[in-house]
Amino acid sequence: MKKIFTLIAAALMAVNVSAANKVLKITGTADKVNPWDSQCYINLKNLEKGKAYVVKFDVYTTAGTEFKIGTEAIDETQTEHMTEWNASAVFNYTEELTLTNQKSEAVINFPGKTTVTCHSHCTAKPGMEIDHTNGNTKNCNPEILKDYEYAATALLLNVGKMPKDAVIYIGSIKVYDADGNLLSTEDFDNATVGEYDATKTIHYPAWQNAATFEIVEEPTTGISNIESVNVAKDGKCFNLAGQQVGKNYKGVVIKNGKKMVIK
């Protein structure tokens, strides 16, 4: 048994040598119904109004089952055009991502133009008064602005569908122009995290109380390298910290020298 743990520890140490990259770690703390029930913003820099961009990053989850998250390209800082909830109405719904425990590259297209449904300048319906209480829109007609050019200030992630206790890891955010030229990289080395604070690299509405957000060193990104290690040949399972786990454990384990997922 001591030899088994020594092998696991050696494998993990070898992987960790190259695992110094910083990543965004999102941990689910409550089960929610809608994707927008848990959100966070990742600030982007120097995007220009009306121009198309492509945003890419590596992402995976520790969850044993796949799930989806939504994305938006949003100008969070503008205040001229707001929704009935007094949030920025200048955004695009962009790609929906399906997350698994296998690292993959997310590719999100920022179009640079959108249709704005603005309640800052809405008009009351006949015989009614404008009342946006609790997101009410029955009393008014919004101002509609088509082909509105804007520059996104943030990538908005809607992660409400992530299971409680699941973890999402997101790597460096890379922004490309329409021709595929790399314009900027947010590698999270100096990233900041805060509640309600748009000056932070990562910020989120804490009232949702559905997830935690933090910058951490990337865990064993070379997890597949452990598969060839000759450990646990007696059929016992170990988590990635080298601890033996019981039959009711769910998640990524090492069994008979190979990585597998117990659901």
Tens digits of residue pLDDT in 137-190:
999 999 999 999 999 999 999 999 999 999 999 999 999 999 999 999 999 999
Give the pLDDT of residue 228: 32
Whether 259 has a pLDDT exceeding 50, the answer reads yes
- pLDDT tens-digit map of 210-232: 999 999 999 864 443 333 333 33
Q: What are the φ and ψ backbone dihedral angles of 26, each rounded to 5 degrees? A: -115, 125
Give the pLDDT of residue 253: 75
41 and 7 share a domain?
no
For residue 19, name the pLDDT band (cuts at 50, 70, 90).
very low
Give the pLDDT of residue 251: 75
The dihedral of CA 159, 41, 212, 259: what is its sign?
Answer: positive
Whether 12 has a pLDDT exceeding 90, the answer reads no
Span 31-52, mean pLDDT?
95
Alpha carbon 39 to chain centroid, angstroms: 8
- pLDDT tens-digit map of 20-31: 689 999 999 999
For residue 238, name the pLDDT band (cuts at 50, 70, 90).
confident
Whether 239 has a pLDDT exceeding 90, the answer reads no
- pLDDT tens-digit map of 75-84: 999 999 999 9
90 and 181 share a domain?
yes
Cα separation values, 35 from 105, 160, 162, Å:
20, 4, 8
For 82, residues 6+ apart whose C-beta sits below 8 A from its C-beta are 88, 89, 118, 119, 120
- pLDDT tens-digit map of 83-97: 999 999 999 999 999
102 and 2 share a domain?
no
173 and 56 share a domain?
yes
Whether 15 has a pLDDT exceeding 70, the answer reads no
- Give the domain extent around 259: 1-19+219-263
For 232, residues 6+ apart whose C-beta sits below 8 A from its C-beta are 4, 238, 254, 255, 256, 257
CATH code where residue 200 lies: 2.60.120.260
45 and 5 share a domain?
no
153 and 251 share a domain?
no
Give the pLDDT of residue 235: 59
223 and 102 share a domain?
no
DSSP letter (8 states) at residue 163: P
Top-confidence residue, 8 or 38: 38
Span 45-68, mean pLDDT?
96
41 and 94 share a domain?
yes
Give the pLDDT of residue 18: 45
Domain-terminating residue out of 183, 200, 215: 215
- pLDDT tens-digit map of 106-143: 999 999 999 999 999 999 999 999 999 999 999 999 99
39 and 98 share a domain?
yes
224 and 128 share a domain?
no
150 and 64 share a domain?
yes
Tell me the Ramachandran region of residue 129: left when phi exceeds 0, alpha when psi lies from -120 to 50, beta otherwise: beta
Q: What are the φ and ψ backbone dihedral angles of 193, each rounded to 5 degrees? A: -130, 135
How many domains does the chain divide into? 2
Flag whether the pTM goes above 0.85.
Answer: no
Mean pLDDT, the chain, integer: 86
Top-confidence residue, 18 or 245: 245
Give the pLDDT of residue 236: 67
Amino acid identity at 135: G
226 and 170 share a domain?
no
